[in-house]
Homo-oligomer: A and B are copies of this chain.
Amino acid sequence: MAKINKNYSKLKPSYLFREIANRTKAFLEKNPEALVLRLGIGDTTEPLAPSIIKGLKTEVEKLANKKTYTGYGDEHGDIRLRSALKDWYKKRGISLDVSEIFISDGAKPDTSNISSIFAPDTVIAVQNPVYPVYVDSNIISGRDNFVFMPCIANKNFIPDLPEKKADLIFLCSPNNPTGVVMNKKQLKKFVDYAIKNKSIIVFDNAYAAFIQDDDLPRSIYEINGAEKCAIEIGSFSKSAGFTGVRLGWTTIPEEIEIEDGGMGALNKLWSRRKATMFNGPSNIAQEGGIAALSPEGLRESAKIIAYYMENAKIIKEGLEKIGLEVFGGVHAPYIWVKTPKGISSWEFFDKVLQETQVVGTPGEGFGKYGEGYFRLSAFGNRENIQRAVKSIQKNLKI
């Protein structure tokens, strides 16, 4: 007799962004004439850079031709893309071998699966509020021994070290949802902690491309010692507009030592997992990724990022103007708004939707320390962003 995995019942009944979509849909059914302005999901809206389009087309052409057609690729990813990433790290003074870089179909699946190489009783430290996937994916696999690291206003949303000894520490910087980025000194504290306690850091730098200050770390490997204790998960989604195209990567340095596996063990286990359960991301997406890392691709994508960051500025300043308290939005495409008069984040979500037709994300969806906050995303066409800000300024009753 088959039985279900009971761990799923420990999850909230609906994934955060599904719930938002459902509430938005319900609103639209009641108000069919409303023009809803979606600043909820961190979803890119600008077309791909021309050089990336060229890369994608190149691969499609290859697949059309008997001489250039290829089938299964390397489960660890196209060696040319891994080399391009190696070079990309090198420019930042970081030395990684191609064997330490694994290409994925996006940061979300890798973030979800990385714990699979760790023991079932792993104690996992997670920022709160944070991207819900770290917690939910671990609950599903039965790794639900969590220590939460509150990111709160009077500590500038920077987490303290875990209160209880943690084996695996998920860090997201620039953080989703607060939009706050950790500096080198703050990250160094975590690296030192990890080395001292033989813990492993999983560093999600999906928003690194939005950092405006060269002194702020875009990769955890900019911190001394991180190569001994940190896995990094990167993404083309936000930096190159690949949210729908699907492409990311994970780096696991050989130098990482783990007590019961030795040096290189984590790299080997992840390699085995990829070979067994994955067949590499789409070859078309990978050719797009190679183009995205070319000097031209990086230059073109930088312009798109600047466009989103101008959106962030418009939102931030527009909301501050009407007296809302606003964080983030400087080195990240997320604006973290304190709900007025201490109303709950879901109440504020409904209020903003009803009064201004703007869809945001209730902070509580990212964890209990997100309660009392509301996330707005700077992804969007300029016109929509301006319209949303004006609608909030004009129609929100605070």
Contact = CB atoms under 8 A, between A and B. Distances in A.
Interface stretch (A95-103, A117-125, A181-189, A387-395): A117-125
Contacts of A73: 244
A200 interface: yes
A285 B286 CA distance: 12
Interface string A47-62: 1101001001100100
Interface stretch (A216-224, A269-277, A343-351, A355-363): A269-277
A65 B41 contact: no
Interface string A118-152: 11111000000000110011001110000000000
Contact of A63 (B48, B142, B277): B48
Contact of A2 (B47, B113, B199, B280): B199
Contact of A11 (B8, B137, B276, B282): B276
A109 interface: yes
A277 B243 contact: no
Contact of A282 (B57, B199, B246, B269): B246
Contact of A243 (B5, B48, B72): B72
Q: Which has the most chain B C-beta neighbours within 10 Å: A3, A168, A381?
A: A3
A272 B53 contact: no
A263 to B, nearest CB: 12
A117 B266 CA distance: 26
Contact of A276 (B43, B140, B245): B140
Nearest to A262: B4
A1 interface: yes
A174 interface: no
A70 interface: yes
Interface in A250-295: 258-261, 265-266, 269, 272-273, 275-285
Nearest to A55: B60
A122 B243 contact: no
A106 interface: yes
Q: Which has the most chain B C-beta neighbours within 10 Å: A108, A261, A273, A282?
A: A282
Contacts of A119: 2-6
Q: Which has the most chain B C-beta neighbours within 10 Å: A11, A276, A281?
A: A276
B2 A244 contact: no
A116 B141 contact: yes
A95 to B, nearest CB: 23
Interface in A69-87: 69-73
Interface in A135-185: 136-137, 140-142, 167-168
Q: Which has the most chain B C-beta neighbours within 10 Å: A106, A136, A279, A381?
A: A279
A334 B278 CA distance: 22
A261 B4 contact: yes
A334 to B, nearest CB: 15
22 contacts: A2-B200, A3-B121, A4-B117, A4-B258, A5-B117, A8-B117, A15-B272, A15-B275, A18-B275, A47-B63, A53-B63, A56-B60, A63-B241, A105-B282, A106-B279, A108-B277, A136-B276, A140-B277, A141-B141, A246-B283, A282-B282, A282-B284
Interface of A: 1-6, 8, 11, 15, 17-18, 41, 43-48, 50, 53, 56-57, 60, 63-66, 69-73, 105-106, 108-109, 112-113, 116-122, 132-133, 136-137, 140-142, 167-168, 197-200, 241, 243-246, 258-261, 265-266, 269, 272-273, 275-285, 379, 381
Given A2-B119, A11-B272, 12 more contacts: A2-B168, A3-B119, A3-B167, A5-B120, A8-B272, A47-B64, A56-B284, A57-B60, A71-B243, A72-B244, A109-B277, A243-B279
| 3 closest A-B pairs by CB | A112-B277, A71-B243, A3-B119
